[in-house]
């Protein structure tokens, strides 16, 4: 009979150091801890799993030890060398060799050793090589260049859509086998590439005649979709203690620039940010994003908007032509805000979340005590 696979977060399920209640009972019997301490530990663990204890640290596992770095370097050198040798035959051969080797290495380092950083590297190498292989089959970068020179938008979009579809299939296969948390974000990125390319090729010329760039709108729509998917995974694990929290983290990291860049750049705020009113609107938009980030307990939105916020504050405090003063003041204001927000993140979250409607509060991670 097949043994069911256990859900795991990097190193958690296989970690013999995890303490169970029977271990605490044995510790009480041996006099290591007393019974009241045992009860407090059990209650704290239960509260943590319900999301009512613990910190708002947005933690995710990137390293299980320094050996992760050592193995990742070794894997990188191996894949680069194999790609270089196989490229003497063809680009397609190089891509297939990298994809096949990445999969085989993942069978050991991901399925058996459960090493975080090497698993992420192998996933990215496999999906990237799959994209490379699909592009090679469709004529490679040279054909994209020819299509661009000839103004054949539909040809370019069909190629990129096919490449994105291949990446999505590769990510799906990898997830089915290995369950690496970043895989769903990689698949979402590939699907977004396919959707943006296809819709842009079909609708782009019509919007171009009207003087509108549809790509920014398409990126924003895909960003909303990825953000919605990330929130769905967050809802599955409000306590942030399982693999689904890691999946949501990578999806938020992907969604943030897809939302922030169109918001600031596509609306024309950046082009007109030399004017104080436009710069003030950029700062206001950044503050709203900060409130959203606080509410959902994810910092990626704030990080993605930092560059725009600094640029806008620099405009507001500009002293003549002396950019050094305004730049330093902008950095000072944003840096000070982030330091204060980091120090008071839990208190700020509690203050904000407790003022939201109860139905919305139930869908958000509970503020830590």
Question: In the chain, what are the domain boundaries?
Answer: 60-212, 257-369
Contacts of residue 35, Cβ cutoff 8 Å, sequence gap at least 6: 28
| Cα–Cα distance list, 200 to 192, 211, 290, 330, 343 (Å) | 11, 14, 31, 37, 43
Rounded to whole angstroms, the Cα distance separating 64 from 242 reads: 16
Rounded to whole angstroms, the Cα distance separating 76 from 122 reads: 9
pLDDT above 90 covers a percentage of the chain that reads: 34
pLDDT at 29 over 80: no
Q: What is the predicted pLDDT for the residue at 6?
A: 42
Predicted confidence band of residue 268 (pLDDT cuts 50, 70, 90): low
Rounded to whole angstroms, the Cα distance separating 107 from 96 reads: 17
pLDDT at 226 over 90: yes
Q: Are 222 and 258 in contact (CB under 8 A)?
A: yes
Predicted confidence band of residue 17 (pLDDT cuts 50, 70, 90): low
Q: What is the predicted pLDDT for the residue at 148?
A: 54
Rounded to whole angstroms, the Cα distance separating 117 from 125 reads: 12
Q: What is the predicted pLDDT for the residue at 24?
A: 74
Lowest mean pLDDT among 162-166, 181-185, 340-344: 340-344
- Of 59, 247, 80, nearest to 72 (Cα)? 80
pLDDT at 4 over 60: no
Predicted confidence band of residue 120 (pLDDT cuts 50, 70, 90): very high
Which pTM was predicted?
Answer: 0.79
Average pLDDT over residues 102-120: 93
What Rg do the C-alpha atoms of the chain give, in angstroms? Answer: 24
Contacts of residue 190, Cβ cutoff 8 Å, sequence gap at least 6: 127, 131, 164, 165, 166, 167, 168, 170, 171
């Amino acid at each position: 009979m097949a043994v069911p696979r256990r859900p795991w977060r990097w190193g958690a399920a296989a970690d013999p150091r995890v303490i169970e209640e029977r271990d605490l009972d044995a510790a009480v019997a041996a006099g290591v801890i007393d019974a009241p301490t045992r009860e407090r530990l059990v209650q704290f663990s239960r509260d943590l799993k319900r999301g009512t204890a613990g910190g708002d640290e947005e933690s995710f596992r990137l390293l299980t030890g320094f050996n992760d770095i050592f193995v990742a370097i070794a894997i990188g050198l191996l894949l680069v060398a194999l790609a270089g040798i196989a490229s003497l035959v063809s680009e397609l051969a190089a891509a297939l060799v990298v994809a096949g080797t990445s999969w085989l290495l993942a069978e050991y380092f991901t399925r058996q050793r459960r090493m975080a950083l090497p698993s992420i590297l192998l996933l990215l190498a496999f999906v990237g090589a799959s994209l490379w292989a699909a592009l090679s089959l469709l004529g490679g970068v040279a054909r994209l260049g020819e299509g661009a020179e000839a103004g054949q938008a539909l040809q370019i979009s069909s190629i990129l859509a096919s490449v994105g579809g291949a990446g999505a299939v590769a990510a799906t296969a990898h997830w089915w086998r290995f369950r690496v948390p970043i895989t769903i974000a990689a698949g979402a990125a590939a699907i977004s590439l396919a959707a943006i390319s296809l819709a842009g090729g079909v609708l782009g010329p019509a919007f171009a005649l009207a003087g509108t760039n549809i790509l920014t709108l398409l990126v924003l729509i895909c960003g909303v979709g990825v953000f919605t998917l990330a929130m769905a995974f967050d809802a599955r694990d409000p306590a942030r203690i399982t693999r689904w929290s890691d999946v949501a983290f990578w999806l938020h990291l992907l969604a943030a620039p897809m939302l922030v860049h169109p918001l600031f750049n596509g609306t024309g705020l950046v082009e007109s940010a030399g004017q104080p009113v436009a710069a003030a609107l950029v700062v206001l938009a950044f503050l709203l994003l900060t409130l959203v980030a606080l509410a959902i307990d994810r910092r990626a939105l704030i990080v993605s908007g930092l560059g725009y916020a600094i640029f806008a504050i620099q405009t507001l405090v500009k002293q003549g032509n002396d950019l050094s003063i305004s730049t330093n003041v902008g950095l000072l204001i944003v840096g000070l805000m982030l330091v204060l927000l980091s120090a008071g993140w839990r208190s700020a979250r509690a203050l904000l979340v407790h003022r939201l409607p109860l139905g919305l509060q139930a869908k958000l991670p509970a503020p830590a005590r």
